[in-house]
Structure 1
Amino acid sequence: MNDLLLNLVQGANSAEPPRRVRYEAWLPKLGLSYDIAPNMALSLTAQRGYRAGGSGFNEQRAESYDFEPEYSTTYEWALRSSWFGNRLSLNANLYRTNWRDQQVLVQLTPGALYDTRIINAGKSRLQGFEMESHGAISRTLTLYAGLGFGSARFKNFPIAQGNTLENSQNKTFPRAPRWTLSGSANFTHPSGWSANVNANHRAAYYQNVMDQRARDIPARTFVNAKVGWQGKHMGAFLTAANIFNVQKPNQFFVDTDGRRRGTLNAPRILGVSFEGQL
């Protein structure tokens, strides 16, 4: 075991000479907009995206590697509308993105944090919708609500793991929740007093692309608040983040001793802030 660890350390300390690469891409974009009514508009946008390739270094195996550029084609349909004299807005987006050679960070050995490599997926697709609404209930109270859904899957992604070739076709993108939900209420008084309460929810998701037997990163909901007074030149506020002290893992791995190790989201944070302006 000691010899194995010493070889890993020696390999991780090895050096590679710098290498230069160059990539170019043509990125067209086309957008159309049509006003259905004075308070409602539809738009359609199509565009091509690009991320340059490059090189990386696997610390555990002391191996350098190259990865190719990725390309995406995105189609987005959008609706924008306002009602009741602009007191209420309703907006929606419907989108689809097709990827070719998407760059994905893959953990080659389960539990080995440093045995990673960026691999170009064959083909993948992201599609979904977003909706949001903002309303002025009164001169002092405004409400906001948002909802999002996304389905992100690999259509063709063969991955070499050990001496085998595993096909990740139809597997979900890692760290990609399907549902997100948010909302807030904001109170502002002419005297300068204000209060805000907001919440956001994120559904569970897979941590990596290799093991998707269960969505191992659980769903979580955070509630935050801010209350205080703002004058002409100065203000003071009380803030609270993660009021209910929700503790959920952002990532974890099973160590060689069988224990789970990882990181959690930030705990409850209470604060006081003073703001000034000239």
Structure 2
Amino acid sequence: MSLSNLTLMRGNGHWLPSTGPVMQLVVSSDRDRAYQLFSVLNDRGRSLGDADLLRSYTLEMVHKFPKHQGKVAELWDKILPAPSKEVSDFFLAYYPSKTGTRTGLPIFKKLRDEYFPNPEASNESEAESLINKVNEFREEMELFLKIRKGEWPYKSQPTPGVTPAITAWHKDHLRRLVISLKHELAMPLLLSAARTADEKKFAELAYMLEIFSFRYKNVCGGHATTPAKRYYIEAKNVRDSKAKTKQSAGVGFDLASRHSSRNRHPMPSSSQVWNLGFVTITEERSVVISGSFSRP
């Protein structure tokens, strides 16, 4: 008879036939070990996603505040219905967008240590702050999914008789960047910009990145490491600048990446310059892009 058809009777310790499943209780006084076990097992024996672990952890943090716990659960219920890969990819973009550094693994531990360092909320104010953080996850994930699909992340209402500042031509730059060129490295920076900059400045950024992606990746065959690091740093800078000034004006960035002279797609000589609006590509065996969210 298989183990699934047996049950342990409390008290005498005998195994007796049962038609129901077996439930095994595992007790651990070590919180990290408990979450390590939880990270690889669920009721179907399949791996749980980092968001599932984060949901469980945040709910436990506010267990002393039932009303707040209910709000946290409602927010996670709006996040987790998305496919697990989409949720995971969101956090992989969100973390460097906020911190300026690569996420690394395990994602759950990184997110927990960065945003929820205390094991539990000690008062209602801390519980409310936790709600606000999970709600921020929800809002930013909505933006992330729109951008990832090449959809424009802003809601603009056209005014009759007035030519809109942002047209389909501007929006196509974003679609080509993320759909045609598949330049997912820029997602942290795009997410930061969509969260902090106005529509016009975001359009200029998408235009700049589309050109950079094509020249650096498709023409030069450049490696992803250098631009990724710059994207992460500038993504954080954009958010920090917004937080300091409470406005997006003046937020800018400088991207530069050195390329090997052995590249089979060499850049033009120093006497050649490609001036593309506020984006300039020049210097032998190099790709230099400089600019800001507003044209000079």
TM-score grouping bracket, smaller chain normalisation: under 0.3
TM value normalised by structure 2: 0.26
**The structure with more strand, counted as a fraction of residues:** 1
| Relative contact order, higher structure (CA 8 A, sep 6+) | 2
